[in-house]
Structure 1
Amino acid sequence: MWWVKVSRNDLRNLSCFELFTQAPKDLRRKRNERRRRQRLETLLTEAVRRSDYMRAGEIQRILFGAEEVYRIWSRKHDAFYSSNLSGYTSDGISAGRYTRAEAEAEVRRVPHILSLVTPKGNHVRFDEATR
């Protein structure tokens, strides 16, 4: 682990695979996609809690474009998946948001535990769909 001074007041502890000695081929492409998505989903949750639906809609458009947004429900933990498939939350507003392809891939991985929650709130179980 390495201590990296990012700015005057920001010091981060980074692993060796997070350090780069050469500039990337495409300088416009960010390497922190998971962190970016986590931050945008947090901002989206805060906007919904404040009832700032115009800002929430704009953030959702940045995250997902015109795609519908799905959530993942764990029957084992009786909770939603948090963003980036990490952790659980019982709060539907702060639950992680996923595209259909992302959510379906995770639910199909463990269909006996997970179900896909559609934008209308319906739960789709893939273990029942295959029977």
Structure 2
Amino acid sequence: MTPLKAMRFSLAFVWLATALVSVLERHGQAAQLLASGGIHDDAVAQSLILSGAFVDAALGLFMLLRPARAVFLAALAVMLSMTVIATVVDSALWLAPLGPLTKNFPIAVALYILARASK
């Protein structure tokens, strides 16, 4: 397996796992994060969480089945948008020991490399 293919598979795994965890945790950590950002209406929170999970799953599947520059650039745009939103909602995430937001920097670099290498 080439390094680029391994990178693509690992990023697809991240997106698919994020979608799954978002659905499984939609009444737990995900809802708590939205509540900390002022979204207390459960229907709104659930809609946002499930919409985000759908986008994550779609990007992960496209990375696996139809990898293309547009997919990697879309994933990069979504990831950057979510990083900005998460920063506004809870900037302390930048200081969390497991680095939920700091991990986005190497992911962004990997997506950029894959986009540059794709058609």
User: What TM-score bracket applies, with the shorter chain setting the length?
Assistant: under 0.3
TM-score, normalised to structure 1, is 0.24
Write 1 or 2 for the structure with the bigger share of helix: 2
Write 1 or 2 for the structure with the bigger share of strand: 1
TM-score, normalised to structure 2, is 0.25
Between 1 and 2, higher relative CO (CA 8 Å, sep ≥ 6) is seen in 2
